Amino acid sequence: MAGFDAARALAQYDPGKLTIATVCSHSSLQIFHGARREGFRTLGICKGKPPRYYDAFPLGKPDAFFPVHEYADLLDHAEELRARNVVIIPHGSFVEYMGTDNYEKLQVPTYGNRHVLPWESDRVRSRQWLVGAGIRMPEVIEDPKDINRPCIVKYMGAKGGRGFFIARNYEEFKKRIDSTAKYHIQEFVLGTRYYIHYFHSPLTGDGYTLPGGGSLQMLGVDRRDESIIDEAHRLGSIYELEEMGIQPSFVVTGNFPLVMRESLLGEALDMGARVVAKAEELFGGLWGPFCLETVITDKLQFKVFEISARIVAGTNPYITGSPYSDLIAPELSTGRRIAQELALATKLGALGRVCT
């Protein structure tokens, strides 16, 4: 983002012609659908030819495509995108495909706070942020020799759980570790996984208001479907699988809709509020959609193993609303909520407040 002043760029925009753009993947159907419902023009950034699958889903198809040879080429097209009044909506695949360095450098107004990236992508810093916000997290095992119960070993930068493995002791760790890669060991938290979708607006003052200003919504909850761990039991225990030479993996293939017991909602919202407050203190704030990835234990305690600071694909089951967003407004997806926020920011002359 070096030297890029989004507010200044937005001052040159025609506010009546804002175009919502994102990379054609991840949650783009939902983003385009929501933007269209709020009256925005939409632009789908794609590598090479526009993907044909949009023809099958016309209400989620962007008005136009913006093909690039490589995603990093977007850097050279910033002026053109600005001339088209483009606001970028980042999602996980957008950041991954462009690369974090390029994403940070992109000179196009982007919804959300790009300063969150170094805090989110570094496991040490994200722990500092979340623990600092009073969030309970899985224990970290610094020395693999101390593994004395089921632990999950994660490779740094590995997206979507690829290569992760479970080890019960040092022997199992040694057998499986790729020592050329940077890794991180956590206790494997036993419980049920809930991925909570929040939306923080600094521009609204009703609903679940926050002490630092604005309000927080909880738009939905999902659980990821992960291959092969989530169905591996069909062949036997993971240790029986190992005898067959099969390693469980944690690769996301889809998402299930979910609700949590109502008595947990108070804490879920409180956790979101504390994460927002700490973000304000550490790097200027967290607004728009974000997700806490949690395990709830049988003691009904949340343990948060990760934060995603933008729209997650787990919101996709809720294009026409979730059991939570239905209690806020009809047919409210996260994609549509983003568009509503941009419409409100435009009306208030506050686009520069919510874009970086």
In the complex, the residues that contact ligand ATP under the rule CB under 6 A are 138, 152, 154, 158-161, 164, 186, 188-189, 193, 224, 226, 250, 293, 295, 305-306, 308
Report, in Å, the least distance between residue 81 CB and ligand ATP.
Answer: 26
How many Cβ atoms from other residues are within 10 Å of residue 279's Cβ? Answer: 26
Q: What burial class does residue 88 get, using C-beta atoms within 10 Å of its C-beta: 0-12 exposed, 13-18 middle, 19+ buried?
A: buried
Which element (helix H / strand E) includes 272?
Answer: helix 265-283
* CB nearer ligand ATP, residue 23 or residue 345: 23
Look at the block and give the residue holding tokens 């199992």. 172
SS3 percent helix, strand, coil of the chain, rounded to 5, is 40, 25, 35
CA distances 194 to 22, 191, 319, Å, are: 26, 10, 19
* CB nearer ligand ATP, residue 197 or residue 336: 197
* CB nearer ligand ATP, residue 71 or residue 305: 305
Nearest to 324, CA basis, from 268, 280, 250, 243: 268
What are 115's two structure tokens? 């300063």
Report, in Å, the least distance between residue 122 CB and ligand ATP.
Answer: 12
* CB nearer ligand ATP, residue 81 or residue 189: 189
According to DSSP, the β-strands at 19-23 and 86-88 are parallel
* CB nearer ligand ATP, residue 132 or residue 150: 150
d(CA 95, CA 92): 5
What are 177's two structure tokens? 């570790």
Report, in Å, the least distance between residue 182 CB and ligand ATP.
Answer: 13
CA pseudo-torsion sign 333, 336, 342, 343:
negative
Report, in Å, the least distance between residue 16 CB and ligand ATP.
Answer: 37
* CB nearer ligand ATP, residue 230 or residue 341: 230
Q: Which residues contact 353 (CB under 8 A, 6 or more apart)?
A: 7, 202, 203, 345
* CB nearer ligand ATP, residue 159 or residue 174: 159
d(CA 151, CA 173): 9
Beta strand residue intervals within the chain, DSSP E: 19-23, 41-47, 64-68, 86-88, 151-155, 165-167, 183-187, 192-201, 208-209, 215-228, 250-257, 288-296, 302-308
Report, in Å, the least distance between residue 256 CB and ligand ATP.
Answer: 12
Which element (helix H / strand E) includes 275?
Answer: helix 265-283
Report, in Å, the least distance between residue 121 CB and ligand ATP.
Answer: 9
* CB nearer ligand ATP, residue 120 or residue 280: 120
Report, in Å, the least distance between residue 305 CB and ligand ATP.
Answer: 4
Type of residue at 139 = E
* CB nearer ligand ATP, residue 226 or residue 280: 226
Report, in Å, the least distance between residue 254 CB and ligand ATP.
Answer: 12
How many Cβ atoms from other residues are within 10 Å of residue 296's Cβ? Answer: 19
Report, in Å, the least distance between residue 127 CB and ligand ATP.
Answer: 12
Cβ atoms of 87 and 355 closer than 8 Å: yes
Report, in Å, the least distance between residue 96 CB and ligand ATP.
Answer: 9
* CB nearer ligand ATP, residue 33 or residue 127: 127
